[in-house]
Chains A and B, each alone.
Chain A
Amino acid sequence: MHLHKYEKIWMTFGIAALVVFLSIVGVSAFSHEQHTPAGGIETIDPEKVKETAPFNEPGVKQLDEDTYQATIVAMAFAYEAPELKVPVGKEVIFKLTSTDVVHSFTIDNTNVNMMVVPGQVTTKSYTFKEPGKYLILCNEYCGTGHHYMFAEIEVTEE
């Protein structure tokens, strides 16, 4: 099998670029916890969500000086979470699960974009940089009311 000289150059360059790119993606993802996408391997009984902690008490809770946890239950076609209000500049750990089908929990203008799967708990940590009222929406098809499934989170000045 014969390789043309230009082809060798082209492929060498291409593969080198690939290695560099993957290293950057990998290092930046794993060096900083906030940069890994939504996930987690915790499970939950989808029929007993409302009896299982922390989903028995959804809402925002302060964990320590700099960390908050927002616990939210997704269901067709709404999010159960009273008073979504968090301070700017503090780490917020979002925890979600679903009582029925798959949904998403997506906050516009942020990189919070979580798939919410029944039987699983999805976790994502995020620190808001700007105060304001952010639109939360479901971007995974969940039924006729999918496009009416939304909420709002208020990020307050300290």
Chain B
Amino acid sequence: MIAAADRKLALWNIGVAYVAFLIGTLAGLLQVFIRNDKLVLPAWLDYYQILTAHGVLLALIFTTFFIFAFFITGMSKSLGAFGPKVLLWNWIGFVVMLAGTVLATVMIVSGKASVLYTFYAPLMASGWYYVGLALFVVGSWIMSFALVGHYMKWRKANPGELSPLFAFMTVSTIILWIIACLGVVATVLFQYIPWAFGWVDTINVELSRSLFWYFGHPLVYFWLLPAYMAWYVVVPKIIGVPVFSDALARLAFILFILFSIPVGFHHQLMEPGISNFWKFFQVVLTFMVIIPSLMTAFSMFANFERAGRKNGGKGLFGWFTKLPWKDVRFTSLFIAMAFFIPGGAGGIINASFQLNEIVHNTLWIVGHFHITVGTPVAMTFMGLTFWIIPYLTGRKFSKTMQKLAFIQIGTWTVGMILMSTAQHILGLLGAPRRTAFSNYNNHPSALEWFDGILTNHVTMAVGGSILFLSAMLLLYIVIMSAFISPKAVEAHEFVEFPLAESDKQATPKIFEDWKVWIGIAFALILVAYAVPIIQMIQDAPPGSKGFITW
């Protein structure tokens, strides 16, 4: 077990994450029923208000707090207990993040910020919504720096040594996050806040969109890398093998830092203000992340095969049946990975320049992120939750709990297959995303979308309802593990943090020379962004004043 003070910190982060999860999934449930006209909202509540809450609370709040809980636990486990300064700054960061969360949520609930989690100008929310988001990011930075401080102390005490793999990956993810947030901080601080409080009259819309997406794409890697961490270091331990290759694991993370930032224009392929040259240039850079993704896929399968053979699996695929399927910590993460195969393939389509025309802003995109962040990432976090809370509270994770956990991930899988398949197909047919119920005045084209076996008004609602039940079951498991399950007494009853051995003997030292990688990252960002951003500022049209259209 790690130090008590560190455990408390991690548990508070998990607690906030799951409160956000509760409200967020409830919003999701409402959405599926509003979209098919089965639910009519009272006048004080609006579809887009709910959708804003869903996006913000699940994609930003749930993920980030959970990620920090995972980092805190793993950093304390692999580098030793936090000192008083690291603890203090972590708590300060946590409180700032929480204050930002509460402020932004209050603004959404009171109807002053129905601008969705992307808050595109010139839709103008209350200035306090943007202040809330800024506090959230600043709080996450404070926590990040506190963790980096803990890491630096370890490096100083162990000169010339590579850090443990978990710490290396945490620091990579934090570097990615800090560089990514520069864009959103710049636009919120220098564009949105002065404009929303009326200190300036207008906003440069195209610039704000580009700064947002400079942040928005690496944001998805900020969700994904902690899931990859679990796949790289937790899964091998559960299945009983060491990390496949320490060097390749580190190299993959470095490549993710380099190639996930200078690529935001792939979210802006259909819009004016950016020349085709720069759009295509960033599309090419986008595809470079395929390289570390393939490396990751290889490592995962290599792990499975080694483990399966060790347990007596024979023949080309015999090892597959010998994996520990009865262990929910493994099966949950395996399902998460399996979802990422169609998820990643869909991503390739989305980013493919002209193919994007067919799917941009359709329900396809909604289907896509529910089988990337909504399942691979979220289900990895569920799989971690099953052991990390008992690990932190010293409570037991009983057989009954394990059974419930299996039901939980099983229902999430079924619900998500139903909902996301319907969304993918509806999107290909042309149904738009981010819309309350509408049949476009009974236009035949619109009626046709909902005519299919999987694309009728029922499938998505059934899927969404199953998902919601699954979410509630998860919350039951969370509460039991946090407060109610009996305390472990005997040694074998304690739940462990599965952390695989990683042999770093053959790993080049340069992999941990951050100056080099941060330098290259900024060089790539300059190449990809400097010219188009300067053009956006120099050739800017007169700015836009704010609009409140909700």
Binding site for B on A (CB under 8 A): 1-4, 6-7, 10-11, 14-15, 18, 21-22, 25-26, 28-30, 35-47, 76-77, 100-102, 104, 106, 108-109, 111-115, 117-123, 134-135, 137-148, 150, 152
Contacts and interface: CB of A to CB of B under 8 A. Distances in A.
Contact of B272 (A7, A14, A41): A41
B205 A102 contact: yes
Nearest to B365: A139
B549 interface: yes
B271 A117 contact: yes
Contacts of A29: 276, 280, 353-354
Nearest to B435: A147
B298 A7 contact: yes
Q: Pick the 10 closest A-B CB pairs, nearest first.
A: A143-B549, A139-B432, A43-B541, A115-B271, A119-B541, A147-B438, A120-B272, A139-B361, A147-B435, A1-B247
B430 A43 contact: no
B446 interface: yes
Given A101-B547, A114-B270, 11 more contacts: A2-B245, A35-B354, A37-B353, A43-B273, A76-B549, A106-B361, A111-B357, A113-B357, A119-B543, A139-B434, A143-B123
Contacts of B438: 147-148
30 contacts: A4-B245, A10-B294, A11-B291, A14-B291, A14-B294, A21-B287, A26-B280, A35-B354, A37-B357, A39-B271, A39-B276, A41-B274, A44-B541, A45-B541, A46-B542, A101-B122, A104-B361, A106-B430, A108-B446, A111-B354, A117-B205, A117-B271, A117-B273, A118-B544, A119-B541, A120-B272, A120-B541, A137-B432, A139-B360, A143-B48
A58 B184 CA distance: 36
B275 interface: yes
Contact of B440 (A4, A137, A142): A137
B354 A28 contact: yes
Contact of A11 (B245, B279, B294, B541): B294
Nearest to B52: A141
A147 B361 CA distance: 13
A148 B541 CA distance: 29
A77 B438 CA distance: 14
B298 A146 contact: no
Contacts of A140: 120, 361, 434
A77 B547 CA distance: 13
B273 A120 contact: yes
B362 interface: yes
A26 B351 CA distance: 12
Nearest to B277: A30
Nearest to B268: A115
Interface in B309-359: 352-358
B284 interface: yes
B445 interface: yes
Contacts of A112: 357
A135 B443 contact: yes
B396 interface: no
B391 to A, nearest CB: 33
A29 B357 CA distance: 12
A106 B432 contact: yes
A148 B441 CA distance: 8
A101 to B, nearest CB: 5
Interface range on chain B: under 10, 10 to 19, 20 to 34, or 35 or more? 35 or more
B402 interface: no
A117 B206 contact: yes
A67 B50 CA distance: 44
B269 A37 contact: yes
A140 B116 CA distance: 11
A67 to B, nearest CB: 20
B80 interface: no
B309 to A, nearest CB: 14
B507 interface: yes
Contact of B542 (A36, A77, A119, A141): A119
Contacts of A25: 283, 352-355
Contacts of A102: 120, 122-123, 205, 209
Nearest to B363: A139
A109 B283 CA distance: 25
Contacts of B298: 6-7, 10-11
B489 interface: no
Contacts of B275: 39, 41
B513 to A, nearest CB: 15
Contacts of B247: 1-2
Contacts of A2: 245, 247, 506
Nearest to B360: A113
B272 A18 contact: no
A114 B356 CA distance: 11
A121 B353 contact: no
A142 B204 CA distance: 17
B358 A111 contact: yes
Contacts of B490: none
B541 A141 contact: no
Nearest to A36: B276
Nearest to B449: A108
B46 interface: yes
Contact of A101 (B123, B280, B287, B446): B123
Contacts of A114: 270-271
A22 B48 contact: no
B287 A22 contact: yes
Contacts of B287: 18, 21-22
B519 interface: no
B508 interface: yes
Interface string B109-140: 00000101000101100000000000000000
Contacts of A44: 541
B294 A135 contact: no
